[in-house]
A and B are shown apart, each in its own frame.
Chain A
Amino acid sequence: MSFFNKVLFLIAFNLFVQNSHAALTIEISEGVSSALPVAIVPFSSTGAPVNISAVVNADLERSGYFKMMAEQAMPSKPNAASAVNFNEWQAASQNYLVIGQLADAGGGQYNIQFQLFDVYKSGQLLGYRMTSTAADLRKTAHHISDLIFEKLTGKKGVFSGRIAYITTTNPASKQQSHQLQVADADGFNPQTIATSVEPLMSPSWSPDGKKIAYVSFERKTAAIYVQTLASGERARVAEFPGINGAPAWSPDGTRLALTLSKDGSPDIFILNLSTHALTKLTRSFSIDTEPSWSPDGNSIVFTSDRGGKPQIYIVSSQGGEEKRLTFSGSYNARASFSPDGRNLVMVHGNGNDYRIAVMDMSNKSINVLTSGRSDESPSFAPNGSMILYASKKGGTAFLSAVSIDGKIQQRLLFNSGEVREPSWGP
């Protein structure tokens, strides 16, 4: 399957998904060489507003783990298990087969049923029947993708997740406007949760996915806000003189680590969100910023230029000795832990190029995953398999994703405006 490498698969969702509101398209620029052949037969449906099987097909293709069979190449299009002839799917070199049905149950409800088969073993691996409102059909499709992905790879799927990011419209004019948006992991259903003519920065998801902390300059000074997604309600939690930046939620959701320069140089502080108590964690005379918690909440990594150049340091979240972690590369910044705590992802610079790199915490070796000139803001998917980041090429800013081993590369293309600072939600 080596031909799968380096082949561009352009998935233009809006071409084959009806009634959708695509904010972006996703290119898989590189996939795993062992991509599994999967055929998803278009589900039978009666006038449903979402083509569920097309959404599932796109999700699985985008993951880079699968080589999806084109509809035209299918030997037949069964919608019921009784109509499946495994021999013809074996002859078509497909390892797995998905069939399904979608039926209007009345009252705005749909019944969805799907089955996943192992073609060579002629047996069912998964079978589910579910109901969904019309509005939730895409969500249901992503859920089906998660179920299939986990069954076939043993890893949790992330298709049901959401991403937050910042966009700028009219970036070249004085009329520019910045938006904090939240969208499904495939870029659909983008919703603007905050808008400002002054910059918005550094969105950070609460661990329960219900809130986002971010930096806003709307009052012509930096301030940190915490906004509840469901109600739109928000609170200004930090507006000290100087920098109020880089908010990062503690894994238990009770505290924010952040950067304040109210005492002089930027230092890392911890803000207790219920008591509003502020604890100073670092006290160097240099730049200390970009805190991020370890998954167990015991440690915080941060960027500091105390050694002359920005490098990654680690300190107990209770305070104490600060130890340098990175020694390779002249620029290492904005580190964050993988969900299992075994790796750190960071921006790794050599003086000219800024790329996304992963450091193995056990032996401190650094593996550079990307090849851009200005890659930044890496964010792990909740299952730790992919890293979302921002990139620039030819004056265009876009989002990309790379697998933790660097083998799968995706590019997310937005229809308009600049897009940056992606953050993968829980």
Chain B
Amino acid sequence: MKLNKTIIALAISALVLSACSDTDEKDTSLLDGNLNANSGINDASTSGLNKGYGMNGSAMSGNGDYASTLGPEFNDPNNPLSKRTIYFMLDSSEVMPDFINVISAHSQYLIANPAQHITLEGNGDERGSREYNIALGEQRAKSVASLMKARGVSESQLNIVSYGEEKPAVLGNNEAAWEKNRRVEVAYQPR
């Protein structure tokens, strides 16, 4: 065993002496070399922090419910324009038949209002890895976009972003929450 080689079997008093000389030998090399070299890190990060990359001001979402200001049809529960979330099955980006009429209604509105832009925000549930869920969320948003384009919506009206599992609609670790989070949100952009 390696330890044996480093241990000198002497009387305790003798050992203590050797211990102290051992201490002295290693003294400065350790210190100044390692610890002081690292010591700048904390202060530096703090100054990095103080210089600030707080994005609170610029990044506030301003279009949360912009669509509801576009007209009464966007608030009428009987009108498909009032539905601006399209849900998906687990690990799937295929649009379910239930949501075709919602996509068609928004498509018609966009065709009639060519100056209107929307962002299709793809999202996923919390299961699996985060970057893979970003990719899955983008696939979902692209599925919706391609149905809209097939109905005649101009590509220039459509913007896509995927938030993966980063912006859950509902918090929770169960299927009831997950099914509400596997979604594409149709976000109308202020004109």
Contact = CB atoms under 8 A, between A and B. Distances in A.
Interface of A: 81-82, 84, 86, 113, 115, 118, 121-125, 127-133, 135-136, 139-140, 143, 154, 160, 162, 171-172, 174, 177, 182, 189, 191-199, 201-202, 216-222, 227-234, 242-243, 245-246, 259, 261, 266, 287, 289-290, 303, 305, 309-310, 331, 333-334, 347, 349, 354, 373-374, 376-377, 392-395, 420-421
Interface string B144-175: 00000000000000001111101100011100
Interface string B3-20: 100111110110110111
Contacts of B119: 220
B49 A232 contact: yes
Given A131-B31, A395-B172, A229 B48 contact: yes
A196 B55 contact: yes
A127 B7 CA distance: 12
Contacts of B13: 82
Contacts of A81: 15-16, 19-20
Contact of B59 (A129, A197, A227, A421): A197
B71 interface: no
29 contacts: A115-B19, A118-B3, A122-B9, A127-B19, A128-B30, A129-B23, A136-B39, A139-B38, A139-B42, A197-B55, A197-B56, A197-B59, A220-B119, A220-B161, A221-B161, A232-B50, A232-B51, A242-B138, A243-B135, A259-B131, A287-B139, A290-B129, A334-B129, A334-B131, A354-B128, A376-B129, A392-B126, A395-B171, A395-B173
Contacts of B61: 197-198, 220
Contact of B44 (A118, A162, A220, A229): A229
B31 A125 contact: no
B132 A289 contact: yes
B130 A230 contact: no
A227 B161 contact: no
Nearest to A210: B41
A353 to B, nearest CB: 9
Contacts of A135: 39, 42-43
B31 A198 contact: no
A243 B162 contact: yes
Contacts of A115: 19, 23
Sorted nearest first, the 9 A-B pairs with minimum C-beta distance are A232-B48, A230-B44, A199-B166, A218-B55, A334-B129, A127-B23, A81-B16, A333-B129, A123-B7
Which of B16, B126, B127: most chain A Cβ within 10 A? Answer: B127
A297 to B, nearest CB: 21
A159 B185 CA distance: 44
Given A133-B39, A287-B135, A354-B128, 5 more contacts: A115-B19, A192-B49, A196-B56, A217-B59, A354-B129
Contacts of B134: 201, 222, 243, 245, 259, 289
A236 to B, nearest CB: 11
B27 interface: yes
B38 to A, nearest CB: 6
B23 A128 contact: yes
Contacts of A129: 23-24, 26-27
B56 A195 contact: yes
A246 B131 CA distance: 6
B40 interface: yes
Contacts of B45: 182, 191, 193, 229-230, 232
Nearest to B53: A194
B35 A373 contact: no
B47 interface: yes
Contacts of B20: 81, 127
A282 to B, nearest CB: 13
Which of A192, A198, A230, A373: most chain B Cβ within 10 A? Answer: A198
Nearest to B22: A127
A76 B8 CA distance: 25
A266 B48 contact: no
Contacts of A347: 128-129
B136 interface: yes
Contact of A201 (B38, B46, B130, B172): B130
Given A135-B39, A192-B49, A172 B171 contact: yes
Given A229-B48, A230-B41, A195 B55 contact: yes
Given A130-B27, A191-B45, A421 B130 contact: yes
Contacts of A130: 27, 30-31, 35
A100 to B, nearest CB: 11
